[in-house]
Homo-oligomer: A and B are copies of this chain.
């Protein structure tokens, strides 16, 4: 038997690694086109204010100003991720400002300075309204109402019941209830949000934009500009300085750039400053989670009763999705037969929540996995033991009807415990050092977007180059490399034979895009099928020439030969020459992937959100300085079941990156909002603290391979789900180190010192 796979399963650098490492990559924020103007956005200085009048006369008269727009220029159209559900966002607001930073008007001018100056000349008359920043206060009777028609500022409420919650609690030996709070954090991509829009004289729009999903953006641009989708061409520059969900949504700049370009009759670039990026792009939804849990004496989870309030900020956009996902992920990680989920998406006069890596999962997981340790302690169980006890296994179905066709959760727990020397260290570490554990589960692409994935195409020309044409968008996560590897493996050629053609709506098949970790499974299955279709066409020609059956032929490592008789065959080059001679070129293979699982019941919360689920477990080892409250993460161990590992190097990179993001969420990142004024208090990397390289522990990763029948070659999601477990693992490790339980993120030195003080005074 030859070795199993030729291309996949081997560590290899991303195909654009050398371009990026040598500084030759073109990023969207660096781009310029001839005759380009600069656009700037006028934002509300008030968190809640009625707009009485906007006077742009002075701004228009400033030399160098080429266009000034207000909401009048935007058709009044509303847009959002699911146009049918609770859409309330406009490119520019007209009636009210709903948060500090709400977009009021915009200017295009010959340079950034003139545009900035013109913003100061726009006169807006506001009637200041009372505002509310805390979601729990926002739902109190009498709170200022942010959107007409919403009751108590609730934009959408989920009320799910799975199993029998009463029975679950009545059968429990132990019940406890805790309240957890998570903060507002932001994506902090190194490249700020940026778009260039240019109309040709025939009214076709071209935009250069680093987006995660052309599909949603084009739909929203079409609605707001009143332009047919086929007249909108979106081009993604080759390099993207980080997505993390921020580029999954239609940020205001995406719409303001073409609105300005249309009015000015010239191309316009809008590029956020770091302040705009930090304060006014999207953030992870802050949530309050009240979790009541019932367990048997042996640790078996019997019931969850969760009340969750998600702060969506001034508008909805992804808020309803986040609250849906939080309910789902509450249930998905450990077996709980009886669940009530009361999840409310609530408006406040703060900046808008959006999709962010591990969307909707980090918040409930912090609650559940923190509380699970507290329960284990009460029951005298080891945190590892209680997690194994409640772990799902392949074939299990969750209360909300997620079908886990493969699940390596128990293996992840066991292996991460072994790797981290859990048993040896647990209880035996020196003072102020502790070890903690948490689990995670995530989806491999959402089954919630339009049911069709447009197919990747594989083309082969006489030069033997194989083109994979895909609508998937590589935003730095490396999907071009993954898809190239899948294509090469299936077709039987090398990585170097594949060129990936992506990033242009005029050229590529439209796909929903790179979000909810869908690309490997969705686009990967499509690419595999397209490669298989292309291979079939080649094998037919070869079979005819060899007087063999196509089914008896194998294509592997640039050779096509009779199965079991490698000597009988020809090279891939010879096969392509043969196709050329027989006038069968170009070979065009089509692929196509639609999950076989039925569409879930969105409002009811039941049914498969994804065709495949990833699982993972992590262990954190920390040291707490009792003098300063500072936490040092000494070691971090991450085991991940991402199905078959297409590229071990890429997966390891993703796990390290997600750990970095998860640890920042646990320990340091926080957008501070003044509770009197609503003002954001940190505006950039000086005061918004993402972890730096010296802050990072060595991250040791373990791949637990399951072979998922729904994934290409058995692959599942990697690198998003692993953002979820660091926060509870850290909280648990800190408790193990110093005996204080922090239930509010981030776990800052201040909170630790305060908790230590309280503990000392008890």
Which A residues have a C-beta under 8 Å from some C-beta of B? 18-19, 21-22, 24, 26, 34, 200-202, 228-230, 452, 454-455, 457, 459, 461-465, 467, 469, 497, 499, 501, 506-507, 509-510, 580, 583, 585-586, 588, 590, 592, 594
Minimum C-beta distance from A591 to chain B (A)? 11
Q: A463 to chain B: which residues have CB within 8 Å? A: 228-230, 510
Complexed CA–CA distance, A601 and B583 (Å):
22
Whether B200 lies near A19 (C-beta < 8 A) is yes
Residue of B nearest to A592 (CB): B583
Minimum C-beta distance from A21 to chain B (A)? 8
Extra 10 A-B pairs, beta carbons < 8 Å, given A18-B200, A230-B499, A455-B586: A19-B200, A24-B201, A230-B465, A230-B497, A452-B585, A454-B585, A459-B509, A461-B509, A509-B586, A583-B592
Pull 26 A–B residue pairs with CB atoms less than 8 Å apart, ordered by A: A18-B202, A19-B200, A19-B201, A19-B202, A22-B201, A24-B201, A26-B34, A230-B464, A230-B465, A230-B497, A452-B462, A452-B580, A452-B583, A454-B586, A455-B586, A459-B509, A461-B510, A463-B510, A467-B506, A501-B506, A501-B507, A509-B586, A583-B592, A583-B594, A586-B590, A588-B590
Q: A461 to chain B: which residues have CB within 8 Å? A: 454, 509-510
Q: A200 to chain B: which residues have CB within 8 Å? A: 18-19, 24
Q: A24 to chain B: which residues have CB within 8 Å? A: 200-201
Given A22-B201, A201-B18, A230-B465, CB of A507 within 8 Å of CB of B509: no
Assembly stoichiometry (copies): 2
Residue of B nearest to A580 (CB): B452
Q: A34 to chain B: which residues have CB within 8 Å? A: 26
Complexed CA–CA distance, A501 and B594 (Å):
28
Complexed CA–CA distance, A33 and B469 (Å):
25
Complexed CA–CA distance, A506 and B455 (Å):
19
Minimum C-beta distance from A192 to chain B (A)? 19
Whether B452 lies near A507 (C-beta < 8 A) is no
Whether B588 lies near A457 (C-beta < 8 A) is yes
Minimum C-beta distance from A31 to chain B (A)? 10
Q: A202 to chain B: which residues have CB within 8 Å? A: 18-19
Q: A464 to chain B: which residues have CB within 8 Å? A: 230
Complexed CA–CA distance, A228 and B22 (Å):
23
Q: A509 to chain B: which residues have CB within 8 Å? A: 459, 461, 586
Complexed CA–CA distance, A463 and B218 (Å):
10
Q: A19 to chain B: which residues have CB within 8 Å? A: 200-202
Complexed CA–CA distance, A583 and B18 (Å):
38
| Closest CB pairs A-B (n = 7) | A230-B465, A18-B201, A229-B463, A230-B463, A22-B201, A19-B200, A461-B510
Complexed CA–CA distance, A497 and B21 (Å):
41
Q: A497 to chain B: which residues have CB within 8 Å? A: 230
Residue of B nearest to A219 (CB): B463
Residue of B nearest to A469 (CB): B507
Complexed CA–CA distance, A18 and B203 (Å):
10
Residue of B nearest to A465 (CB): B230
Q: A499 to chain B: which residues have CB within 8 Å? A: 230, 506
Residue of B nearest to A462 (CB): B510
Q: A452 to chain B: which residues have CB within 8 Å? A: 462, 580, 583, 585
Residue of B nearest to A204 (CB): B499
Complexed CA–CA distance, A201 and B510 (Å):
30
Minimum C-beta distance from A469 to chain B (A)? 8
Complexed CA–CA distance, A345 and B139 (Å):
91
Q: A229 to chain B: which residues have CB within 8 Å? A: 463, 465
Residue from B18, B507, B580, B590 in contact with A507 in the complex, judged by beta carbons closer than 8 Å: B507
Residue of B nearest to A20 (CB): B201
Minimum C-beta distance from A106 to chain B (A)? 23
Q: A469 to chain B: which residues have CB within 8 Å? A: 507
Residue of B nearest to A452 (CB): B583
